[in-house]
Structure 1
Amino acid sequence: MTANQQIEHWLTSHKSALETAKRPFVTLSYAQSWDGSITTRAGETLGLSGTESTRLTHQLRSLHDGILVGIGTVLTDDPQLTVREWAGSNPQPIVLDSRLRMPPTARLCQRSDKNCWVLTSLKDGSEFGSQVEIITLEGDAEGRVNLRAALALLWEKGIRMLMVEGGSQVITAFLKAQLADALVLTIAPTLVGGYKGVGNLGIGCKSQLPKIRPLYSQMLGDDLIMWGNLQYQETVES
């Protein structure tokens, strides 16, 4: 089977276990260089995926009910988060935006097919039109949207499979909270020496680091695609 077929079969196989979870199955998906960089520096865009990998990303979007990015990705890339390169349904666009910095001119605010859901810890969203749904949730200790509360709400709204594309702070937050279930990683054959896709997880012990098991890989064009389930080691209390 091709990488596209293998990954679709692998993702679909998880759907039978969703009803007992009471939160969406979360897939992290992003592209990086061989040295782990996603861009040259924070706030800049660097297209790393090849043509075939881009089509895979759009295929992955079609396999999920919702797609989530952080406000930094919106401000930097102004994405559409659609399946333009693949035949399928567009997922529900969702933005994590604790301080409600979402620009009303963003392309996600202009979508005719789906209203964009903006998850925030603030209450004022009066400047947005009918194409944006502002959803206020409790904040965590750092004032960011509480991810567990966000996932519980998304479950209630019918999101069973959620794809998280970034950016780095969002990817890191899902890993630190142990709320990411799977990873699809595109590795481009280049060295960047820039801004990493995963930040500090605050883990000092190797046994407690997230692991990908089982791990699958296949070439797709010039890129290496790696995917698998994320497993977490529970912290042992002394």
Structure 2
Amino acid sequence: MQNVEVTPRVWERILSIRAGNGCACCGRWTPGERAALDLYAPLARRDLGPVTVAQIGQSLDGRVATVTGDARDVSGPEGLAHLHRMRALVDGVLIGVRTAIHDRPQLTVRMCSGPNPARIVVDPRGRLTEDVALFRADGARRIVVQGVARPRPEGVEVVNLPLRDGWLDPRDIVTALHDLGLRNVMIEGGGITIARFLEAGLLNRLQVAVSPLLIGGGPQGLTLQSPVARLADAIRPETRAYGIGREVVFDCALTARAAEAWQPIHSAPRVAEAARAVRLR
């Protein structure tokens, strides 16, 4: 497991990668800073094509909330800072309507520097009211994907898609977001929404942040609609583990392209190649 250290200078480099003005290959970094580059640079890059990543925080026993629905402190300060960094690196953050109603998240970047992503809510039946913070005009794009005709506050972009068996098809959602110019999207919650994108084969990456606490009951992180009957058929993504304070983030590559993004451009052959180029000048 690699321990991540997000110093101001390494975060500045990561944001420059997001803006297309930097790379992860050069510079002298501590092991913790290098781990930060390994974790965040694949999401910051815009030369890898569209990326859909999901992030979920849970307890040691796999819970995302208590039996009463309290989910506020499942992730500690380190996990929340990681989530805000993820938000700063993507074009848009998507949640389901249940998460929007019960958790009332702001989906803004507050625990690090970086741009606010577009805020996206999937609301098939138009249940979300107009008074939520998600709809507040603050310069970030606000988008509702819905399956019914319902007016939204001024400035909120509405994407109307057909309902299929009472649900919005994740493939239709991703296509619509790409058409809106949102290429790198994070599915932040809840577990049902993440599971639907996972089962549809639309996730490039899945990050599971595990906090050191035991809840003992309550909803689980991920429950698939079609669980496997045999372990031999289970999804076994290529995975790297990162320590962020007291929390552990499992970064899972679900596609070959996502795994290739891990290939460090600062690897030994490339470093040696660069050294030879320097000597030849």
Question: Under TM normalisation by the shorter chain, which class is it?
Answer: 0.7 to 0.9
1:49 deviation in Å?
A: 1.4
* Segment drifting more, 197-206 vs 175-184: 197-206
Could you tell me whether the CA contact under 8 Å between 1:175 and 1:201 is conserved in 2?
A: no
Could you tell me whether the CA contact under 8 Å between 1:117 and 1:135 is conserved in 2?
A: yes
RMSD of the TM alignment (CA)?
Answer: 1.9
Secondary structure of residue in 2 paired with 1:90: coil
In structure 1, how many angstroms separate the alpha carbons of the residues matched to 2:135 and 2:43? 29
Aligned to 1:4: 36
In structure 2, how many angstroms separate the alpha carbons of the residues matched to 1:183 and 1:10? 13
In structure 2, how many angstroms separate the alpha carbons of the residues matched to 1:144 and 1:34? 31
- The answer to whether structure 1 residue 29 and structure 2 residue 55 are counterparts is yes
In structure 2, how many angstroms separate the alpha carbons of the residues matched to 1:48 and 1:121? 32
In structure 2, how many angstroms separate the alpha carbons of the residues matched to 1:40 and 1:224? 20
1:35 deviation in Å?
A: 1.2
The equivalent position to 1:222 in structure 2, one of 215, 234, 246, is: 246
The equivalent position to 1:133 in structure 2, one of 157, 166, 174, is: 157
1:96 deviation in Å?
A: 0.7
| Matching residue's letter, 2:174 | L
Aligned to 2:47: 16
1:42 deviation in Å?
A: 7.3
Is there any run of 5+ residues in structure 1 with no aligned partner, and where? Answer: 19-23, 233-238
Aligned residue pairs, count = 222
Aligned to 2:134: 108
Aligned to 1:163: 186
Q: Once the two structures are superposed, what CA deviation does each residue of 1:134-186 show, in whole Å capped at 9, x if it has no partner? A: 2110222x211111111111111111110011101101111111111101221
Could you tell me whether the CA contact under 8 Å between 1:42 and 1:195 is conserved in 2?
A: no
1:82 deviation in Å?
A: 0.8
Could you tell me whether the CA contact under 8 Å between 2:87 and 2:116 is conserved in 1?
A: yes
**Against the structure 1 CA distance between its residues 212 and 120, is the aligned structure 2 distance closer, same or farther, given a 3 Å change threshold?**
same
TM-score with structure 2 length normalisation?
0.74
In structure 1, how many angstroms separate the alpha carbons of the residues matched to 2:117 and 2:91? 5
TM-score with structure 1 length normalisation?
0.86
* Segment drifting more, 60-69 vs 24-33: 24-33
Aligned to 2:125: 99
Aligned to 2:200: 177
Structure label with greater radius of gyration: 2
- The answer to whether structure 1 residue 118 and structure 2 residue 133 are counterparts is no
Is there any run of 5+ residues in structure 2 with no aligned partner, and where? Answer: 1-30, 257-281
Q: Once the two structures are superposed, what CA deviation does each residue of 1:29-57 show, in whole Å capped at 9, x if it has no partner? A: 11101111111137543421121221111
In structure 2, how many angstroms separate the alpha carbons of the residues matched to 1:170 and 1:205? 24
**Against the structure 1 CA distance between its residues 144 and 170, is the aligned structure 2 distance closer, same or farther, given a 3 Å change threshold?**
same
The equivalent position to 1:80 in structure 2, one of 89, 106, 129, is: 106
Could you tell me whether the CA contact under 8 Å between 2:117 and 2:141 is conserved in 1?
A: no
1:117 deviation in Å?
A: 0.6
More strand by share: 1
| Matching residue's letter, 1:17 | L
Could you tell me whether the CA contact under 8 Å between 1:70 and 1:166 is conserved in 2?
A: yes
| Matching residue's letter, 1:211 | R
Secondary structure of residue in 2 paired with 1:93: strand
In structure 2, how many angstroms separate the alpha carbons of the residues matched to 1:79 and 1:12? 23
In structure 2, how many angstroms separate the alpha carbons of the residues matched to 1:167 and 1:92? 17
Query: After TM superposition, which residue ranges in structure 1, 4 or more long, deviate above 6 angstroms?
Result: none
Could you tell me whether the CA contact under 8 Å between 1:171 and 1:197 is conserved in 2?
A: no
Q: Percent identity?
A: 28
Secondary structure of residue in 1 paired with 2:196: helix
Aligned to 1:206: 231
Secondary structure of residue in 1 paired with 2:64: strand
